[in-house]
Amino acid sequence: MVAKLTKGFWPKVARIILRNRILILLAVVGFTVFLAMQWKNMQFSNTEANILPDDHPASIQYNAFTKIFGEEGNAIVLAIRDSALFTPKNFNRWNTLSKQLDAFPEVDYVISLENLKELIKDNDTQTFSMEPLISAPPKTKSEIDSLTNHLFTELPFYDNLVYNPKSRTIQTVIYLDKDIMNTAVRNEFILNDLAELVEDFEQETNMDVRISGMPYIRTWNTKSIVDEIGLFIVGALLVTSIIFFFFFRSFRATFISMCVVIIGVMWAFGILGLLQYEITILTALIPPLIIVIGIPNCIFLINKYQQEVKKHGNQALSLQRVISKIGNATLMTNITTASGFATFIILDSDLLKEFGIVASINIIGIFILSLLIIPIIYSFMPLPKTKHLKHLNKKWMDIFVNWMENMVRNHRIGVYITTVAVLVLSIIGIYQMRITGSRIEDLPKKSHFYKDIQFFEAEFDGIMPMEIVVDTKRKNGVVKPATLKRMDRLGAVIDEIPELSRPISIVDLVKYSKQAFYNGIPKYYQLPTSQENTFIMNAVQKSSTDGTNLLQSFVDSTGQTARLTTYMRDVKIDRMEEIEKDLQEAITKQFPSERYDVFMTGKALLFLKGTKYLVKNLLLSLALAIGLISLFMAYLFRSYKMVIISLVPNLLPLVITAGVMGYLGVPIKPSTILVFSIAFGISVDDTIHFLAKYRQELTAHRWHIKKSVYAALRETGVSMFYTSIVLFFGFSVFIISSFGGTKALGGLVSATLLFAMLSNLILLPSLLLSLERSIANKQVLKKPQIDILPKDEDNPKDK
């Protein structure tokens, strides 16, 4: 029944399209204008990708931390490692730069040499006061040497915060207003105001300023994404148009196809604006993806039109048959491709969910555009000339098709031996794969901000914050000597881990207070004894500077909860897990659970949890994609055996790619696990085309299996080759990206689709021939639910 409805549906669609050409073109133009008006709603992401769901334990703990202490990733750091800094002119110019930055409304406060305070005991009031380290700009080199010597040797509180005594690197820390952290104001300040001030400083002093910090990295990361969108679109258009023209040798066909995909790109941006989704590193890939995926639609439709013209020369009949015969098959293949992307919608990650929604909508959109625009435009044009049809009889394509047929006809055993050997090698490679990666691994390696990250890792042991929150379960429990000692011992464990920086907490402030109590003598930078503790802690609690309590940055307002902050270098996930395990053991040992609630959080830890969560869910997405497409194939062919046969040549390329990743040391991470769902959804299109034609040929050849397989191979081989080559080079465009993840995505998808083409053109027909008795009979290959390829009216065998 469904097949009958489908059979009558597409001729009716063809009549509607060709009889309402002007109206449809006006509707396409109108809808395109409407979507173009939505571009104003597009905005680039200023927030960090939300990978973990809100109800995940790690998210709950991080939100609990920020509720008490606020956003912890709001610091931008500037540093100089240059002996020329320690001259009066340059030294004072560096301090002037800090003052200039502190004057901006976007800046909350700045910690620098210019405003550095020294803790001094006030004997009269029995409190501590904060006195400026620099009371007046130094005028001589000896003054600067004396000042820096005092800082490096007598103020250990600022070690790793403002200076590195070994390399004499000086650092300025800029804390941005937390209200602008996830807004465009942050980007404007960093890209314009900060950049201009630093550039002026570098020109005046001839010194190199290093800049980093999570807000800075996120801003430049966003800018890199923006810069690459145009590059990808131009690259995809250029590559696909050149390949398309090489195949068809027709400027007319190439121009029409480019018009279709350009309108598709306009729709993609419009839908992003309409849904008010931010442009992220993933959604930025959608416009070039639409070009790459849209061109195969154009190839199938234009190729069919030219074949029909060559047969009978009747333009109206040719256009009608293009829609009625290719329309259904193209719809089915686009649905399977969209299904591969749509599986991301079920994930809790907003980043992937939005990518899946926009990509799947636009894939169906580019199908509709292709089906409407190509026949209508051709209806206004004269018939293709003979030279435009020569590509249908290319000798080199005959050689390729003959080679495929020869492999399938005479070398099936060799095909199977090769397949099994490759499969075994791939499985060995899979066992060498690891789930790893790092937070900055995919960032552009040649960018200035990536090099600066490496500088700060070497000088200050990292920039990614990790927090340990200690809840003492009682008011003022933090300042108890027992708690301070436990935190100090935990800090010693952190200090021994080479990938972590020296931790900063209330412990450091208390130690600094004892040092001040003993008139600044460095050897007293230690926790007070029981006798000293009462006086020192009372003095600390009474002390303030500019109305701000000294404890505010380290302890909550009740004195119940404290934070211990450290910074992590860029490490792989497996090492990060080891660090987390070591710290958790130290926490369990130092803080009994009946007396303390202690947990780890921070951006570094969220990345670890988020990556593992995402990989797990993407594997689920891949399984769902395979399941959905299997059900779809079962619905089309009504045979579980055909489903199994169709899955083999599409799963094998995924296994091969996974094996290659293992041998090349490419880790499993979010950017590479995406490859499998995308590639599977696209590669199965060729299988649908081939099996649909095969089933049609079986009926035409009265169930003669071999003739049907060879006929299907010759009929679909050329189009499958064309589309696979376009997809291969189209996805290869992403290799030019400066982002490691995008580059890996492009290269791996291209390789997988190439493997899939060979698998569908050689392994699939070989399996059909070898298993002909069990799968190719009227009982197993029942009448399908949908006639993907209607019978050819010009083929007498079909009548």
DSSP letter at 159 equals B
Which pair of structure tokens corresponds to residue 159?
């070690």
Mean pLDDT of 193-197: 90
Task: Pick the range with the lowest mean pLDDT from 20-34, 82-96, 128-142.
Answer: 128-142
At position 581, the amino acid (one-letter code) is K
Q: Tell me the CB-side half-sphere exposure of residue 287, using CA atoms within 13 A.
A: 25
Q: What percent of the chain has pLDDT over 90?
A: 14
Residue with tokens 């399908």: 784
CA distances from 509 to 160, 271, 338, 515, 770 (A): 14, 53, 57, 10, 78
User: What are phi and psi for residue 651, nearest 5 degrees?
Assistant: -80, -30
Q: Is the pLDDT of residue 795 over 50?
A: no
Task: Pick the range with the lowest mean pLDDT from 12-16, 162-166, 471-475, 712-716.
Answer: 712-716
Residues whose CB is less than 8 angstroms from the CB of residue 382 and which lie 6 or more positions away in sequence, other chains included: none
Q: Is the dihedral of CA 158, 159, 160, 166 positive or negative?
A: positive
At position 127, the amino acid (one-letter code) is T
Task: Pick the range with the lowest mean pLDDT from 96-105, 160-169, 351-360, 680-689.
Answer: 680-689
User: What are phi and psi for residue 411, nearest 5 degrees?
Assistant: -130, 35
Mean pLDDT of 12-31: 90
Q: Could you write out the three-class secondary structure of 753-787?
A: HHHHHHHHHHHHHHHHHHCHHHHCCCCCCCCCCCC
Q: How confident is the model at residue 547 (pLDDT cuts 50, 70, 90)?
A: very low
User: What are phi and psi for residue 195, nearest 5 degrees?
Assistant: -60, -40
Residue burial 65-97, b: 16+ Cβ < 10 Å; e: rest = beebbebbbbbbbbbbbbeebbeeebbbbbbeb
> Could you tell me which residue, 484 or 722, shows the higher pLDDT?
484
Task: Pick the range with the lowest mean pLDDT from 16-30, 701-715, 741-755.
Answer: 701-715
Q: Is the pLDDT of residue 162 over 80?
A: yes
SS3 49: coil
Q: How confident is the model at residue 23 (pLDDT cuts 50, 70, 90)?
A: very high
The CATH number of 2-48+219-431+607-798 is: 1.20.1640.10
Residues whose CB is less than 8 angstroms from the CB of residue 160 and which lie 6 or more positions away in sequence, other chains included: 460, 461, 501, 502
> Could you tell me which residue, 220 or 265, shows the higher pLDDT?
265
Q: Give the per-residue pLDDT at 777.
A: 52
Q: Give the per-residue pLDDT at 254.
A: 87
In the chain, domain spans = 2-48+219-431+607-798
By CB atoms closer than 10 A (0-12, 13-18, 19+), residue 414 is exposed
Taking residue 721's Cβ as centre, other Cβ atoms within 10 Å add up to 18
At position 302, the amino acid (one-letter code) is I
Tell me the average pLDDT of the chain.
Answer: 81
**Which range has highest mean pLDDT (357-366, 409-418, 726-735, 752-761)?**
357-366
Mean pLDDT of 476-489: 89
Residues whose CB is less than 8 angstroms from the CB of residue 119 and which lie 6 or more positions away in sequence, other chains included: 128, 129, 130, 157, 512, 513, 515, 516
Q: Give the per-residue pLDDT at 3.
A: 44
Q: Are strands 117-122 and 127-132 parallel, antiparallel or unpaired?
A: antiparallel
Which pair of structure tokens corresponds to residue 126?
């029995």
285-328 tens-digit pLDDT: 888 888 888 888 888 888 788 778 777 778 888 888 888 877 77
Which parts of 38-140 fold into alpha helices (H)?
Answer: 57-69, 88-102
Q: Is the pLDDT of residue 669 over 80?
A: no
Beta bridge partners of 555: 562
Q: Give the per-residue pLDDT at 438.
A: 66
Which pair of structure tokens corresponds to residue 625?
């994609």
Mean pLDDT of 629-633: 75
Q: Is the pLDDT of residue 102 over 70?
A: yes
694-710 tens-digit pLDDT: 777 777 767 777 787 88
Q: Give the per-residue pLDDT at 387.
A: 60
At position 783, the amino acid (one-letter code) is K
Q: Is the pLDDT of residue 197 over 50?
A: yes
CA distances from 252 to 266, 384, 633 (A): 21, 9, 36
Q: Is the pLDDT of residue 28 over 90?
A: yes
